[in-house]
Structure 1
Amino acid sequence: MNTVVHKTLVVQLQAGEAADRFPVLAHFRYDAADPFALSVVFSHDGRVLAEWALDREMVGEGLTRPVGVGDVRLRPESRGMWDELRIELLGNDRADGDRHRAVVFVWASAVESFLRDTHAVVRPGEEEVCVDDFLAGLTAEG
């Protein structure tokens, strides 16, 4: 059985509050070796713009209600004929005291499809983490 799920989507990036949206690629990845996490790499014209780790359960919850209080905030949004997942990503501090911010809009049904594929690999509630391996990794880094 394949333990890694990939999906590449065209998403809409809004880099400022009044800025227009523009399309970028989002490369979603799920690996059963890290069963609670999803990674997303955003790219444009062959260049990586950013990489983020997201909580798989939080992404699912963000499809139905606002979630997140830290660097990642998600909420559903409706754009007339289709529903989107709004992902707000907060980065490092700027010189003016605010933080760098980007908002990504993803077609909700594409996120739902990706999550279904991840659930086929590891069902929600059946995630396991080998504590011995985790501790060994921590001590090796230290």
Structure 2
Amino acid sequence: MTNDLVQQDMFTVLHGQPAPVVTRWSYSAYDPFAVSLAVRARHDRWVEWLIGRELVIDGLEGPAGEGDVRMRPRTVQGYDIVEIEIRSHDGRAVLEVDRGLLRSFVEQTLELVPLGTEADRMDLDGEIARITRSCGAE
């Protein structure tokens, strides 16, 4: 972990698949409201979703989320997990991650940027300038 980044790889069960897949959870103080969930696909290709950090926090304790990403804690065959349902126009995937590992990741993000202080970490003027430059380049 660097001073501005938390990252953790986890084995994750993709519902209905016999072998776990690797997921990479990342959090950056430079984008303090979001958590990146990347799933390793074939040939070392990663498929990435950005999820609100508060959704991940809420999903540790109870059902959370509306729309494309939903989370809920469950006990499956004696294992304490968080079930993550991701929907897109291409279909639906259900991932199961170890609740303790996910909680540890979340706690590290909270040490880096405590809840309620996210806006203090954002450089809104810099973001607006970056977006304006990229839109003007087209």
User: In the alignment, what sits opposite 1:97?
Assistant: none
Overall identity of the aligned pairs, in %: 33
Matches within 5 A, 1:30-45: 30-44=27-41
- The question of 1:137 aligning with 2:130 is answered yes
Q: Is the 8 A contact 2:13 2:95 kept in 1?
A: yes
Decide which structure has greater helix share: 2
The alignment's C-alpha RMSD in Å is 1.7
Q: How many residues align?
A: 132
Alpha-carbon distance in 1 for matches of 2:42, 2:134: 35
Q: TM-score, normalised by structure 1?
A: 0.84
* Structure 1 runs (4+) greater than 4 angstroms displaced: none
Deviation per CA, 1:1-36: give whole Å up to 9, x if none. Answer: 61101100001012xxxx345300001111100001
Decide which structure has greater strand share: 1
Deviation per CA, 1:42-76: give whole Å up to 9, x if none. Answer: 11454225211111111010111111111101111
Q: Is the 8 A contact 1:41 1:48 kept in 2?
A: no
Matches within 5 A, 1:1-142: 2-14=3-15, 19-44=16-41, 46-93=43-90, 100-128=91-119, 129-142=122-135
Alpha-carbon distance in 2 for matches of 1:140, 1:68: 33
Q: TM-score, normalised by structure 2?
A: 0.87
SS at match of 1:68: coil
Q: Which residues of structure 2 form unaligned runs of 5+?
A: none
SS at match of 1:75: strand
